[in-house]
Structure 1
């Protein structure tokens, strides 16, 4: 079927004009492709991760290790989705000495010319989510999980996640506490969950 902008347009579910790299707390929900129960099962109100679910948990725990500006709050892997609260800390407060240590050797080429010197080619506009943003974290997390899951299942190119994700910008302590409780109690309420699926 040919592309038809009337049918095939994608409407963003992000808040228009909001800078998702801004310091603050965000609640994220990701669903599996076609809401397939891939990550384990719930028994007696407790989530029991299978090997694929453990991959998801492991990759989420790596997030603040890979990205110094991210802190994790409550999170849960459910049979067919994931909820997590992440905090973007003030990026300007990042220790510049640590950044220099991580980037040692990247400031000049071997011929001592500075990196980024004009090459005669027009600059290429960056694509993808803004660095150090919620979108960048989600893209990296989803990609890492997908790669490891497909290696584990020996299913290269298979979909693991739905195309997008839901986010909520947490504006105060009351919202934060409410969302924490929602996440903590999510396994116990599985059969009433809007994402509930069997099998």
Structure 2
């Protein structure tokens, strides 16, 4: 039996370590709602009250990203019941000898830190990232992340029941 071909979700030939803004979505495997407390159906942006014990670990790991990668800034993020959204800003000085990490490197390190702290992995294998090419796109994604917790039941990752 031939396995289905996976659609490429990254730009061919693009250097994901170059300076710029990136919109990243990371999902929990099988859309399990592990990151919010049971019964929490909506939240205000930056409201940690609905976060489960796992959601709190994820939240803390996101805040740690710039400590591990000084050239990375987390401009905006939100922890949803079964996924997270981030805007990562890569800003490396031209004079540095070391190469900046890619979005995949940053996300894999964050996923690993969460897995180590809670004792098991609940992450889907990959990630979705999008290069934010201009201010208009950046503002649109900023607004989406900001309002996503308020409209959870309309989200494409929402599963009823």
The answer as to whether partners of 1:39 and 1:80 remain within 8 angstroms in 2 is yes
Q: CA deviation at 1:50?
A: 1.4
Is 1:29 the counterpart of 2:31? The answer is no
Is 1:197 the counterpart of 2:149? The answer is no
2:128 aligns with: 166
Instruction: After the TM superposition, list the runs of 4 or more consecutive aligned residues in structure 1 that deviate by more than 2 angstroms.
Output: 8-12, 41-47, 90-94
Which of 15, 20, 23 is 1:19 aligned to? 15
Deviations 1:19-68 (A, max 9, x none): 00010000000110111001114445435111110100100110001101
Equivalent residue pairs, number? 155
Gaps of 5+ in 2: none
How high is the TM-score relative to the length of structure 1? 0.71
RMSD: 2.2
Give the Cα–Cα distance (whole angstroms) in 1 for the partners of residues 140 and 103 of structure 2.
21
Q: CA deviation at 1:13?
A: 1.2
Gaps of 5+ in 1: 100-129, 151-157
1:66 aligns with: 68
2:83 aligns with: 81
Q: How does 1:94-113 map to 2 (within 5 A)?
A: 94=96
The answer as to whether partners of 1:33 and 1:159 remain within 8 angstroms in 2 is no
1:147 aligns with: 116
Give the Cα–Cα distance (whole angstroms) in 1 for the partners of residues 160 and 52 of structure 2.
16
Give the Cα–Cα distance (whole angstroms) in 2 for the partners of residues 77 and 90 of structure 1.
26
Is 1:54 the counterpart of 2:56? The answer is yes
Q: Per the alignment, do residues 135 and 59 of structure 1 end up closer, same or farther by CA in structure 2, a change over 3 Å counting?
A: same
Is 1:133 the counterpart of 2:102? The answer is yes
How high is the TM-score relative to the length of structure 2? 0.86
1:121 aligns with: none
Query: SS of 2:60's equivalent?
Result: helix
The answer as to whether partners of 1:63 and 1:70 remain within 8 angstroms in 2 is yes
Q: How does 1:112-127 map to 2 (within 5 A)?
A: none
